[in-house]
Amino acid sequence: MNIFRLTGDLSHLAAIIILLLKIWKTRSCAGISGKSQILFALVFTSRYLDLLTSFISLYNTTMKVIYIGCAYATVYLIYAKFKATYDGNHDTFRVEFLVVPVGGLAFLVNHDFSPLEILWTFSIYLESVAILPQLFMISKTGEAETITTHYLFFLGLYRALYLINWIWRFYFEGFFDMIAIVAGVVQTILYCDFFYLYVTKGEGRSQLSIPTLFVSQLTNV
């Protein structure tokens, strides 16, 4: 494992922990998209079904279990324990516009037409757009709490580091996965505007313009 993948994993884990701590300490899930968190739970579930069939390493297994556990813990906190604080009025992104096309694409474009491979491919495609409900929610409210922007920053950093990881693996290991790379590029692009605003307007509650027009048009189809 190279340093870029390791730091990418740690950035991903940091984002998840930041979100969970935010909800638990404030006893509130205000400003957090439950729909995005459901999509991430679906991503991890469909990607890590190989936990039941193969063992790669203790690190690999541990991280997979942590990701799945934290994803469902977040969903539980939003829709059960702190349900009264959930802002469903602004979390209105129509996720079927993501899940249905992604599911169809996974069947058509994959490395191997087998159940686990199709589910893995589905998870890769879905992860690239799973953050859209959160970005749409921010675009509707016009702002995000600082802690939420930190969560988004570390998620974007994780994906950017993974892109560097793929470049490293191509040059030093001859590894190349077009599906993962294209999906990663799409996901990183969605964060570009946010990264700029995070750096230039990072204090207090941030006014975010993250692909507002694109996301708004998508949900109004």
Q: Contact, 78 vs 32, CB < 8 A?
A: yes
Structure tokens, 78:
């939003």
User: pLDDT (tens digit, 9 = 90+) per residue, 40-60?
Assistant: 999 999 999 999 888 999 999
Instruction: Express as a percent the part of the chain with pLDDT over 90.
Output: 62
Q: Domain ranges for the chain, please list them.
A: 3-215
User: What pLDDT score was predicted for residue 145?
Assistant: 72
User: What pLDDT score was predicted for residue 196?
Assistant: 65
pTM: 0.87
DSSP letters, 114-157, are SHHHHHHHHHHHHHHHTTHHHHHHHHHHS-B-HHHHHHHHHHHH
User: pLDDT (tens digit, 9 = 90+) per residue, 10-48?
Assistant: 999 999 999 999 999 999 998 899 999 999 999 999 999
Q: Contact, 189 vs 210, CB < 8 A?
A: no
Averages of pLDDT over runs of 10 residues in the chain (221 residues) are: 92 95 93 95 96 91 96 97 94 95 96 94 95 87 73 88 91 90 86 68 48 46 46
User: What pLDDT score was predicted for residue 214?
Assistant: 43
User: What pLDDT score was predicted for residue 210?
Assistant: 44
Q: Contact, 164 vs 172, CB < 8 A?
A: no
Maximum separation of any 2 CA atoms in the chain, in Å: 51
